[in-house]
A and B are shown apart, each in its own frame.
Chain A
Amino acid sequence: MSTTDLESDSPAPQTSSMRGSGRRVGDSVFSYLSVGSGLLIFLTLAAVAIFLTSESMPAVIASQEFSGTSEFSLIEVTLPLVYGTVLASAIALVIAIPISIGIALFISHFAPRRLASGLGYMIDLLAAVPSVVYGLWGGIWLVPKLEPVYVFLNTYFGWIPLFAGEPTAPMRNLASASVVLAVMVLPIITAVSREVFLQTPRLQEEAALALGATRWETIRTVVLPFGRGGVVAASMLGLGRALGETMAVLMILAPGATFSLHILEVGRHNSIAANIASKQAEASGVDMSLLIFTGLVLFVLTFIINALARWIVARSGPKS
């Protein structure tokens, strides 16, 4: 680097051949480095796929489905975990999406212009808090606070299957984990939706206002239809985040492995990520590769969700 620096700094015309070679060396080194980094990204992801697959092979081979021995069944181990993961994330999204859209609208259209960026920063702070701190806060502080709400729901809305069953204190159930997950995906959905809402063509909004529409009517007729694709994509990104979240679920949920719909009951569900984190310390050999297999399933699941989200963004992009 330093030699080429010197060469290119020297102004004398007679060194033009040297300058040329220095230029070529510097350029090709830089070009190789940057192309190499791009290729390294390919290699890394290939390595992730290859190592997760190869390390999970022992479990696949030893499982009931392939070997015929009844040691353990891949499907029986994996499916309840997938169910728990998806259920927890779905409930988290049901809580988070309406609130996020509300916040995004508040920041983009309701809050005074001068406050808006500060308020957006407050929401970004929510995203900056490490997940383990959310787990600690949820496990110690939030779970006892939610207990009366659950008792209320169970007593008066117990006829809905979701709230049925017998909740017992401490409420380390799927619902608590979902509430904390909702808090964690909120900033992601808000940030993306806010961006989309802010891109609404100004003229269309002003046209609606000029026709005498109230602010809500403007939002309903102009902003929301414009931002629909963005909100869907934001929600999918949030879903991807919720599916892979480990610590909040690990620290709050008392694990179980059933297909129960009763989200208020304790010890009924578990998620893939939390299951890996809780069992990895003691696992080795086939047990470990079984955990890696569930990790591979999670990887594929989030990959599909994220790819779908990107596809929606790309499809709704050109129109904006």
Chain B
Amino acid sequence: MSSSTSVQAPPTVRSSDERRLPWYHLIFTGLAGLLVAVAVLAIFDALSVASAIMLGFGLHLLFGWGYSLLREGPRWAMDRLMTLLVIGAFAISMFPLLSLLWEVISRGLTRAIAAKPTPFSFWSEDMSGIIGGADAGGVFHAIVGTLLITLWASIISIPVGLFTAIFLVEYADQGWKRTLGRGVTFLVDVMTGIPSIVAGLFGLALFIAFMPDQSVRMGIMGAVALSLLMIPTVVRNSEEMLRLVPMDLREASYALGVPKWLTIVKVVLRTAIAGLTTGITLAIARVIGETAPLLLTVGMVTSVNWNMFDGRMATLPTFINQQYRNGNANCMNETVTNPVNQEVYACSITTNIDRAWAAAFTLIVIVMVLNIAARLVSHYFSPKLSR
């Protein structure tokens, strides 16, 4: 471990002071810690993998520190202890990510593949007529809603965000525009910090102030609320990318007599296109999983609604929340009959929770695909500015 610093500690100055141990001594102390932990836990009859690892790590800190103190002296012992602590911090943070992904895949993917009545129908069915513990239904309506609302949020946010970024980089350089630019930068920072629920309240308050019906909920309200969260992300990501474009390119273009706006379109934006795509994709990935604003503004339905301007819509995040809230179902009989098309389904107590996991899997796949696509675009298509 200690050998990977860029500047090597000089070879021993005083042999009593510098007796660095090779890293594999950590394995010995680690094993000792684990063994003692297992023994202690077995005596107290509380042995489990998680508790053994936790206690073992704690003991390893102690053993590693003590061993190093004896063999290397207090300064290196402290170094070793901190190295272990820092690695431990990273391991702890990986634990929720891995366990969450594992749970979502093992519970969600299974349910999505083994969906009834036909495999994979989870992604092509909606929830109309699915009552009680019926082991059927799917998220087609929610996928449609999520994609539509995100599309509209993007239609609102991307032009506004992009032009604001262009304003900040290309126009806000002198006079009153400079002052305006400072104000806009500050407000974009403020917008970044707006809690998602407040964005939802804004979407709601904006529409119920003008609508006669106080209980109005529709897709466009959700799109407006989401764009409030999306605009600042688009602005900041794009601004960063536009500032990376070298001034030389702009000046070369001006020298050829190209007007400013054409320079922006054909030189600046074209140079930054990969970065812009990445930034915008990441912004979409950020809002596509937002729940709270949609909970307030679009409500919930059981079937597909393609109209953004009329009636409630289902979305994946709110669907997960709703199914989770429903909790365990009651199973009075072996089967449940669909009142709409008279189909008969098996009854399952955990059907709601299973659907929530499968929808969570679907949502995570969408978000991860967007994230990975963004990274790939920036990796393969960004111009090589520095030769």
Contacts and interface: CB of A to CB of B under 8 A. Distances in A.
A215 B206 contact: no
A307 to B, nearest CB: 7
Main secondary structure of the interface of A (DSSP, over half): helix
A246 B93 contact: no
Interface residues of B, number: 102
A273 B201 CA distance: 10
A112 B4 CA distance: 7
Contact of B90 (A103, A121, A285, A299): A103
B22 interface: no
B37 interface: no
Nearest to A183: B96
Contacts of A35: 167, 171, 177, 180
Contact of A295 (B103, B201, B261, B324): B201
A203 B20 CA distance: 25
Nearest to A295: B201
Given A37-B160, A102-B89, A277 B197 contact: yes
Interface string A117-133: 00101110110111111
A219 B259 CA distance: 51
Given A128-B285, A128-B367, A303 B5 contact: no
Interface string A125-169: 110111111111101110001000000000000000000000000
Interface stretch (A40-48, A64-72, A75-83, A262-270): A40-48
A130 B289 contact: yes
Given A244-B197, A246-B292, A137 B104 contact: yes
A246 B197 contact: yes
B113 interface: no
Contacts of B180: 35, 38-39
Interface string A202-227: 00001001101011110100000000
Main secondary structure of the interface of B (DSSP, over half): helix
Interface string B205-224: 11011000011000000000
B41 interface: no
Interface stretch (B24-32, B80-88, B119-127, B339-347): B80-88
B261 A27 contact: yes
A280 B181 contact: no
B273 interface: no
Contacts of A219: 82
Contacts of A34: 163-164, 166-167, 170-171
Given A128-B285, A215-B79, A133 B181 contact: no
A109 to B, nearest CB: 8
A22 B357 CA distance: 57
B356 interface: yes
Interface stretch (B129-137, B187-195, B244-252, B329-337): B187-195
B360 A133 contact: yes
A234 interface: no
A244 B264 CA distance: 37
Contacts of A112: 4
Given A40-B160, A186-B93, A216-B82, A130 B363 contact: yes
Given A8-B259, A131-B289, A251-B321, A105 B86 contact: yes
Contact of A244 (B79, B198, B363): B198
B324 to A, nearest CB: 6
Given A33-B163, A48-B202, A277-B197, A141 B103 contact: yes
Interface in B59-118: 75-76, 78-79, 82-83, 85-90, 92-94, 96-97, 99-100, 103-104
B184 A41 contact: yes
A103 B97 CA distance: 14
B168 interface: yes
A247 interface: yes
Contacts of A131: 196, 289-292
B274 interface: no
Nearest to A46: B187
Nearest to A109: B86
A37 B164 contact: yes
Given A34-B163, A133-B320, A247-B321, A206 B7 contact: yes
Nearest to A124: B371
A145 B96 CA distance: 12
A140 B82 CA distance: 34
B367 A126 contact: no
Nearest to A51: B205
Most buried by A among B194, B261, B360: B261
A125 B78 CA distance: 32
A201 interface: no
Contact of A122 (B6, B94, B197, B291): B94
B100 A102 contact: no
B79 A132 contact: no
Most buried by B among A29, A110, A247, A303: A247
Contacts of A134: 100
B181 A126 contact: no
B259 A133 contact: no
Given A29-B261, A214-B79, A135 B321 contact: yes
B367 A129 contact: yes
B185 to A, nearest CB: 10
A26 interface: yes
5 contacts: A37-B160, A37-B162, A42-B183, A129-B364, A214-B9
Shortest beta-carbon contacts, A-B, top 10? A244-B195, A130-B289, A102-B89, A306-B193, A34-B167, A30-B261, A37-B163, A246-B292, A214-B79, A23-B259
